[in-house]
Amino acid sequence: MQKLALVGLGASGLFALKELAGVHVEVHVFDVGPLYSKRYPCPIDQGKLEVCPPKACSYCAPGQSAGSWNDFKVILSASPIIGGRLYELIGEEELQRHLDKVRAAILEHAPVEIPVVKPNGEDLEWIKKRATLAGMTYYYQELLHCGSDNAPAINSSILNEIASVGSNIVFHWDTQVVSVVRRAEKFVVSYDRYRKGGEPCEELFDIVIMSVGRGGAHWLTQQEFYKDLEIHPGQVDIGVRVETSCYFTEEIDKRFYEPKLYYRSRHANDIVRNFCSNPRGFVTPENHRDYVLVNGHSKMFEKSENNNFAVLVSKTFTRPFKDPQLYSQTIAKVVNMLAGGGPLIQRLGDLRAGRRTKSLVNNLVQPTLEAECGDISLAYPHRILEGILEYVDALDKICPGVSGDATLLYAPECKSYPDSIVVNKNMETNIPNLYIIGDCSSWTRGVGQAATSGMLAGEGVRQSIEQASTVLA
Ligand SMILES: Cc1cc2nc3c(=O)[nH]c(=O)nc-3n(C[C@H](O)[C@H](O)[C@H](O)COP(=O)(O)OP(=O)(O)OC[C@H]3O[C@@H](n4cnc5c(N)ncnc54)[C@H](O)[C@@H]3O)c2cc1C
């Protein structure tokens, strides 16, 4: 029997594994994180901690499958713009077919009924007209919002089902893959116990699926095979998390939950977009080991009086600069430095007036995350801030009140995307039997398409194993 290593069991790895359960291949799954049932909810949310632990924790860190544990919003529409670029790779029909399977799997395993958020004809007319008048472009999407509180049950139930039919699967939890090195046509995978340390073990595999997420993307670039992959440089998104009253946005929240609205800045012709809306949600820190970003989430049962969402300005770079991730991390670290180690918060009115926010006492919008009051313009490039301000002003035409002085901006909210790795329609790279899926491949940017890319790889491996066994027979 051939041996396959699946490195990383986040959104993409889980759905790859679903396809491989019961197939004639010995699958070894490696994940740094603990068993799903032992992954814990955010300790800050539970009131057990006031600030993030010094090490990134499994709730929020991108290296720990954040999106399928945190908020767990799943985009279900095959879009050329939203959630990733698989549309380019496999086309609308195939993408939609796979997203429908993701939807079915999640709904089947959900402990409560989760409604699909789907705009109707009247809502579409409503938003298209308002967006056009505001100078924005609206992109259609349907989504599932599972909520952080339902995430553990859904993920664990999918995994339990896989384990029950997957006698071919061996799990290595709390296990970090240290390196993957080619040996002739095979791969040597070295791994050790993440928290306990000790001598790394080595095993030889015929097939490797890399699904280490955005958190593992840098590690991927350090691997022996990386220099032989065909790649294109990645992109960064730099922006802020906006927190405002839920009453300013309630009309679009009610109709869409999260309408995707794109804007081209007059100042620099940059694309500016909203991302990850959390009506009645909470802003959270996103703790990477050496810097802290902000993010947001919402829950099915506990609600705030605010809405938070990201406004992001996209940037790509041309020669000679080749490290967009370093660029966004450097900006994030400057913000953290000014804030004494964490995120900064500033009133929109103060940013416009060119002064630092000193206090939020009596501010109309009260923050859901305690952050240091300050001045974001000391850390962010002018071009980025102009794009953000233009965007919020345009949005105010659709949601009056949003660009009021009391609206809060948190920084840093940065997303960097790894190099885009050239793959075939089953996510196999130009190195035979090496598949790279999910966010570390840069083809995906959210749970829905990450899961889809996993399915594509799983299907590809399954088909090639079935074909090989037919030939042998
Ligand atoms: C705070 C936060 C909230 C988010 N919310 C949403 C949301 O609501 N909806 C949405 O669509 N997207 C969301 N996202 C994005 C989403 O998390 C990703 O798009 C998605 O998880 C990508 O799936 P993946 O399988 O590529 O990677 P991940 O889900 O990140 O999984 C990677 C896995 O690899 C493991 N790993 C990494 N390196 C190694 C190694 N060396 N050895 C062994 N294991 C390793 C990690 O432990 C992890 O389990 C969010 C992201 C963040 C950071």
- Distance CA(53)–CA(229), nearest Å, equals 36
Q: Best of 203, 292, 415, 447 to mutate for ligand 1, by most ligand atoms within 8 A of CB?
A: 447
What is the structure's pLDDT at 62?
45
Question: Which H helix or E strand runs over 250?
Answer: helix 246-256
Alpha carbon of 190 to ligand 1 centroid (Å): 22
> Is the Cβ atom of 458 under 6 angstroms away from ligand 1?
no
Give the chain's domains with CATH numbers: 3-112+147-232+419-472 (3.50.50.60), 235-416 (no CATH)
234 contacts: CB under 8 Å, gap ≥ 6:
316, 324, 325, 416, 417, 418, 419, 420, 442
- Distance CA(257)–CA(251), nearest Å, equals 9
What is the structure's pLDDT at 394?
98
Q: Best of 28, 32, 149, 278 to mutate for ligand 1, by most ligand atoms within 8 A of CB?
A: 32
Alpha carbon of 34 to ligand 1 centroid (Å): 14
Q: What is the pLDDT along the chain (473 residues), one digit of tens a residue?
A: 999 999 999 999 999 999 999 999 999 999 988 888 777 666 666 667 766 665 555 555 544 556 677 778 899 999 988 899 999 999 999 999 999 999 999 999 999 999 888 889 999 999 999 999 999 999 988 989 888 788 889 999 999 999 999 999 999 998 999 999 999 999 999 999 876 667 789 999 999 999 999 888 889 999 999 999 998 878 899 999 999 999 999 999 989 888 899 999 999 999 999 998 999 999 988 888 789 999 998 877 789 999 999 999 999 888 788 788 889 999 999 999 999 999 999 999 999 999 999 999 999 999 999 999 999 999 999 999 999 999 999 999 999 999 999 999 999 999 888 888 999 999 999 999 999 999 999 999 999 999 999 999 999 999 999 888 777 76
Coil, helix or strand for 321? coil
- Distance CA(150)–CA(350), nearest Å, equals 38
Beta bridge partners, 144, equal 74, 116
User: What length does the chain have?
Assistant: 473
Q: Which amino acid is at 59?
A: Y
pTM value is: 0.82
Indicate left, alpha or beta for 5 from its phi (over 0: left) and psi (-120 to 50: alpha): beta
Angle between helices 86-109 and 11-20 (to 10 degrees): 80
Virtual CA dihedral for 229, 169, 85, 33, nearest 10 degrees?
A: -90
